[in-house]
């Protein structure tokens, strides 16, 4: 993914960058409505999850904000929570808080929807087990046997009678009332929604955010039950204004330099051979006559070209024979030749490392290698640029760079 190109900001609102959908004619609320740049959102998300510097800064922020967990207050005073409710907050609301922080850092906004709580793990299995486990008292009563698992006594035993009545009461007792599912907030995943900014107010000075779902079942319709919370409002062209977006240009530039450095190392590890036309030999120095100067008509040139092609084909065949001969020599040198195994047609196992395949080639006719061909060189200041990008990322996200990138084993410490 070319994040540097995908994350470019739209400088002016034009007709070409207007995103049309099958329902655009029905969705367009009013003139001047713009949509958030989804390509920029994808590029920022990719950089956010793949940059080690951003992840280190995020870890520090998460530890400072959510290290002590969530706390509920009522009238400005902390509410003492039960252990069960504390576990519920840790399992449902703490992940939601992490998602809110991530989206706020990436996009400067966060879309929130209220959904029903997912069932606990193995809930279907537990329900089926309860249905199968019929009370033994009920089964035995239907079979005409004793109605309790306790040892049966005399027919007039009061203990047996009380146990039977208790089992019957339990079997006929109604189950607990079905409670409504809990509603929990979630942050929709990128790609499942689009946000449009619609002018509103007396003179259209303010803007109202509308959320459109991209689900095929809803066909780009507005979701009135989703809300958008902004930390930094996007600009008039739908470009994101967020901490990560402010450092995106330099971080993507360094990322592109890293990719180019990798390409340069690949080329340097497997250098290419450059050829050039061989200079013509001087007749006075060579003492001979150039064959090209002996032909003056087209027919003689054609005959000479055919002869050259035949010679080139013969050289190609000789080269192929040389390659096969080298392969056979490699096979003979690196494999054990067992006379007993050759009669059965089973190849003997190799006892030496695999051979290096020969790489023979023939230069084109009248071509020669270029000496000292220019090879790609990596930048010498790439490490300094990466450190500068780390400082920019830390400053944009509000974390001191010394906390993230300096330490006892760091090469960028103030003591050094």
Q: At what angle do helices 38-50 and 248-269 cross, to 10 degrees?
A: 60
108 plus 190 within the same structural domain: yes
* Residue 174: Cβ-neighbour burial (10 angstroms; 0-12, 13-18, 19+): exposed
Q: Are 115 and 213 part of one and the same domain?
A: yes
Residue 20 lies in a domain: no
Q: What is the pLDDT of residue 309?
A: 86
Whether 234 contacts 240, CB under 8 Å: yes
Let me know: does 231 contact 102? Beta carbons within 8 Å: no
pLDDT at 196: 92
pTM equals 0.62
Q: Are residues 8 and 82 in the same domain?
A: yes
In a domain, 126, yes or no: no
Task: Report the pLDDT value the prediction gives residue 121, as an integer from 0 to 100.
Answer: 80
Let me know whether 191 and 246 are in one domain: yes
- Please check whether residues 240 and 276 belong to one and the same domain: no
Residue 148 lies in a domain: no
Structural domain containing residue 37: 3-12+30-121+180-255
Q: What are the mean pLDDT values of the chain's consecutive 10-residue runs (416 residues total)?
A: 68 50 50 85 91 90 87 88 88 92 94 88 79 60 54 48 50 54 90 91 88 85 92 89 90 87 83 77 56 66 82 83 79 63 51 54 74 78 87 87 66 47
């Amino acid at each position: 993914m070319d994040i540097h190109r995908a994350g470019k900001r739209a400088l002016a609102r034009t007709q070409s960058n207007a995103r049309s959908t099958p329902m655009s004619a029905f969705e367009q609320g009013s003139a001047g409505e713009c949509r958030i740049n989804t390509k920029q959102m994808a590029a920022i998300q990719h950089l956010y999850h793949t940059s080690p510097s951003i992840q280190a800064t995020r870890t520090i922020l998460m530890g400072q904000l959510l290290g002590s967990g969530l706390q509920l207050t009522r009238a400005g005073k902390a509410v003492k929570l039960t252990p069960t409710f504390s576990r519920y907050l840790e399992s449902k609301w703490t992940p939601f808080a992490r998602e809110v922080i991530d989206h706020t850092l990436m996009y400067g906004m966060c879309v929130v929807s209220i959904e029903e709580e997912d069932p606990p793990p193995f809930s279907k299995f537990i329900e089926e087990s309860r249905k199968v486990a019929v009370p033994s008292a009920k089964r035995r009563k239907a079979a005409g046997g004793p109605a309790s698992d306790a040892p049966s006594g005399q027919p007039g035993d009061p203990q047996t009678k009380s146990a039977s009545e208790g089992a019957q009461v339990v079997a006929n007792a109604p189950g607990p009332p079905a409670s409504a599912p809990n509603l929990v907030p979630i942050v929709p995943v990128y790609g499942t929604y689009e946000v449009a900014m619609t002018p509103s107010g007396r003179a259209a000075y303010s803007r109202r955010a509308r959320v459109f779902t991209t689900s095929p079942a809803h066909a780009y319709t507005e979701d009135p039950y989703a809300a958008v919370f902004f930390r930094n409002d996007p600009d008039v062209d739908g470009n994101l204004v967020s901490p990560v977006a402010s450092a995106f240009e330099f971080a993507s530039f360094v990322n592109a330099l890293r990719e180019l450095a990798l390409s340069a190392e690949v080329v340097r590890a497997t250098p290419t051979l450059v050829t050039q036309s061989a200079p013509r030999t001087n007749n006075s120095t060579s003492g001979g006559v150039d064959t090209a100067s002996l032909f003056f008509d087209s027919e003689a040139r054609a005959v000479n070209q055919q002869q050259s092609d035949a010679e080139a084909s013969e050289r190609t065949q000789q080269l192929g024979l040389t390659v096969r001969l080298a392969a056979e020599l490699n096979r003979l040198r690196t494999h054990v030749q067992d006379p007993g195994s050759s009669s059965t047609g089973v190849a003997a196992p190799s006892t030496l490392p695999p051979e290096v395949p020969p790489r023979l080639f023939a230069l084109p006719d009248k071509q020669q290698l270029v000496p000292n061909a220019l090879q790609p060189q990596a930048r010498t200041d790439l490490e300094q640029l990466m450190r500068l990008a780390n400082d920019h990322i830390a400053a944009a996200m509000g974390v001191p760079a010394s906390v993230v990138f300096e330490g006892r084993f760091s090469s960028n410490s103030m003591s050094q």
